[in-house]
Structure formats: C-alpha cells, structure tokens
Structure 1
Amino acid sequence: MKLYDAAWAPSPRRVRMYLAEKAIQVERVPIDLAAGEHLGDAYRALVPRGVVPALELDDGEVIVESAAICRFFEALHPDPPLFGVRPVEIARIESWTRRIEAEGYAAAAYALRNGVPAFAGRGLPGHWPEVSQIPALVDRARVMWAGFAEALDQQLAQNEWVAGDRYSFADITALATIDFARRARLTLPEGAEHIARWYGIVAARPSAEA
C-alpha cells in the first residue's frame, strides 16, 4: 500500500495522527501542494479529483477521504479502538466527528479559501475550473466558528474527551481542525477553558507530531 500525503494539509495530518496512535507503518508518497503536484497529470491519473490524502491498495484500488482511509485501517487493526466499541460509543464518535467536519473544519476552509489572497481562483479544493473567492463566506465562517467553539467547550466541560471518556477519532479530528483554523485566522474565544484543558493534553500526545 501507498499513502499519498502532504506535510501541512489538515486532512493528511488526520490520517498520520491516526496511524501513529495505532503504530501502523505505511509507505508514504509526499505530494507537493505548493507546487501544484496534486493537480498535475500524473497524480490526477491516480486521483482524478486531485485531493490528498489517498491510499493506493496493493490491487490498485484507491481510497480517498481521510475518514474513509482511517476506517479501512480500523477494520484491519481494531485495537486500540478509535471509532468506538459499544453501539452508543460508535454513534457518539461518529456524531461528533461529523459535527466537527461540518461546522469547525468547514468554517476554517471557508475562511482560508475565501479570505487568503494565495487562494484566489481556488475557492474549492482539488481539481475544478477556476472558482472565485466569495468574501461574504469569510463572515459566515466566523459565525460558524464561534458557534462551533462554544458547543465544543460545553461538551468538554462535561467530558474528558470530545466523544466521552475515551480518546477517539473525534479528538484527532478536533485537534487537526483547531490547528488548521489558526492558519485561516480563526482563533478560539477567550474563556474557552475546557477546550484549553483538553488541547493541552491532546497536543502533548506523540501522535500530534505526526
């Protein structure tokens, strides 16, 4: 298997953190996003959408989307469980992961792609015709981010980890999202003490450096 990776992007980082927690070794192929390698003919012959990460299996099939790649490895290596064991735990982790993606990560992506000059004409990730920036989406991103941060802080006021009493893929997703949001100039509000407590713990895990 080969994992097509990119050093600074949040989605590949999510996979790297997951693999580090599982102590799984996979051959990695770096893709230079700054140079546009993901949009070149060679990579798009493998991944037509031009996105990272991507996992090429030994039979040639390619899996994209970071959560799907991690689910694939979870089925192969169920211990330690990062997607839950009990039905309610699995549902809780899935629910929070989706919320983080839909509210927190989406806010960061809106802010970055519509507010940073370097992304002019690249309003959507991957291979698309030119997509103009929409400045109003930066304002929407700030509203989304504030609401997401408040909800996450409330959740962590009652739970040690994002989805309950066990570190999970939801924590990986939240850490990658918060760090990504900083690049998009979205910061946590003052007084988010529960996120701060949690962040100190998860950021200190060795996997956070993956």
Structure 2
Amino acid sequence: MLFYDCSTAPNPRRARMFIAEKGVQIETRDISIAKGEQLTPEFRAVNPRATLPVLVTGAGNVLTENVAIALYLEEMFPDPPLMGEGPEERAQVLNWNAIAEQQGAMPVAEAFRNSNRHMKGRALPGPADFDQIPELAERGMARIGLFLDMLEQRLQDSPYLALDRFSLADISAFVFIEFARVVRVSIPAEHGATLDWYGRVRARPSAAV
C-alpha cells in the first residue's frame, strides 16, 4: 500500500488518524498543497482529480475518497472496529460521517475558500479554477454555527457522535472542528457536551499525528 498525504490539510488528516487508530504502518508520501504539488503531472498521473488523500491498495487500485479508504482499511484490519459492527451500527457511523462531511466540512470549506486571499481563483479543490463568491463565505459561517449546535444536541445524548464508542464519524467531526480555526471559529464555551467530547478525542494518540 502507498498513502499520499498532506500534513496541513483536513481530509488527509482524517485518513491519517484512521490509519493511526488501526495501528498499521503504510508507506507515505507527503504532497504539499501549499506548493501546488497536487497539480503536478506526476501526482495527477496518480489522481487526475488532483485531490488528497489517496491510498493505493495492495492490488494497485487508487482510492481517492475518505470513506472508501476507511472501508478498505476496516476490511483489511478489522480491529479495532471503527465503522461499527453489524448493519445497524455501520449505518449509524456512515450516517453521522456524512452529516459531518456535508454539514460540517462543506460550510468550513465554503467560508475559507471564498474569503481567504490565498484562495483567490481556487475556490474549489481540483484541477479547475473557480472564482470566489463572498456570499458563499457568509453562508458558510452561518452553517458552521448550525452544525455546532447540532453536535451539542447529539452529544448531550451520546458519548460519541454515532455510537457509544469512538468511530470514523468522530474522526471526521473532530478534524473539521479543528480546521474551522482557519475561519476563526471554535466550540462555544456553553457547549459543554461538545467540549467534553472534544477533550476526549483530542487526548487520543491519533489526534497528534
């Protein structure tokens, strides 16, 4: 296996945390998005979409989406289980992981890519250039607040996001919350359940990779 990483980007960090939780060693190559290395012909020969992370499987298949990477590693290394056990748990993990992606990651990306001066002309990842839309940045900031409120409500009823134990969904939500610092957003002080959950996830060794 070969893992293409970027040490500064949130989506590769999700895969990196998953790998660390599994306790497996995978050959890794770091691709600098800041230097535009994802757009080079060499990397686009691996992933024409010019996005990270990428996992090249033992059979040589190229996986470019976090859920696919997680599923492959879960099948290859089932312990500890991070995507649930049985159909009910697996469905819960994928459900909350999708919520974290769509209602957590997307708003942060909208706010950041449509407001940061370094993202001018690069409002979307990938090989094509797109102009910034300031209104999307404003909408993204509002949506981040709604996402944090939803997390607090959920975590008041459950110790972890999807299950009664740590899972892929917690990795995704944690990484997106930490990445929200790029738009100067953090967990509100009154969100006690979320802060407790965040502290427990932050203390895990995988959070330091």
The list of structure 1 runs, each at least 4 consecutive aligned residues, that deviate by more than 6 angstroms after superposition, is none
Q: TM-score of the superposition, structure 2-length normalised?
A: 0.97
Partner of 1:35: 35
- Aligned mates of 1:151, 1:68 — CA distance in 2: 26
SS of equivalent residue, structure 1 residue 106: helix
Deviations 1:41-97 (A, max 9, x none): 111111100011111234432111122111111011111110000322111111110
RMSD of the TM alignment (CA)?
Answer: 1.1
After TM superposition, the structure 1 = structure 2 runs for residues 15-164 of structure 1, keeping only pairs within 5 Å, are: 15-128=15-128, 130-164=129-163
- Aligned mates of 2:60, 2:68 — CA distance in 1: 16
Q: CA deviation at 1:184?
A: 2.6
Cα contact 1:103–1:144 (8 A) shared by 2: yes
- Aligned mates of 1:85, 1:94 — CA distance in 2: 12
The AA in structure 1 aligned to 2:53 is: P
SS of equivalent residue, structure 2 residue 156: helix
Q: Structure 1 pair 126/156, CA: closer, same or farther in 2 (3 Å)?
A: same
Partner of 2:181: 182
- Aligned mates of 2:157, 2:16 — CA distance in 1: 28
- Aligned mates of 1:56, 1:91 — CA distance in 2: 26
The answer for unaligned runs of 5 or more in structure 1 is: none
Q: CA deviation at 1:190?
A: 3.4
Deviations 1:161-204 (A, max 9, x none): 11121110011111111011111323223311111010011001
The AA in structure 1 aligned to 2:191 is: A
- Aligned mates of 2:116, 2:168 — CA distance in 1: 29
- Aligned mates of 1:105, 1:187 — CA distance in 2: 14
- Aligned mates of 2:88, 2:47 — CA distance in 1: 35
The AA in structure 2 aligned to 1:73 is: L
The AA in structure 2 aligned to 1:84 is: G
- Aligned mates of 1:68, 1:149 — CA distance in 2: 26
The AA in structure 1 aligned to 2:11 is: S
Partner of 1:171: 170
The AA in structure 1 aligned to 2:69 is: I
Aligned length: 209
Which shifted more, 61-70 or 99-108?
61-70
SS of equivalent residue, structure 2 residue 78: coil
Cα contact 1:146–1:189 (8 A) shared by 2: no
Q: CA deviation at 1:35?
A: 0.8
Identity within the alignment, %: 41
Q: TM-score of the superposition, structure 1-length normalised?
A: 0.96
Q: CA deviation at 1:121?
A: 0.2
The AA in structure 2 aligned to 1:136 is: E
SS of equivalent residue, structure 1 residue 29: strand
Q: CA deviation at 1:23?
A: 0.2
- Aligned mates of 2:62, 2:92 — CA distance in 1: 28
The AA in structure 2 aligned to 1:148 is: F
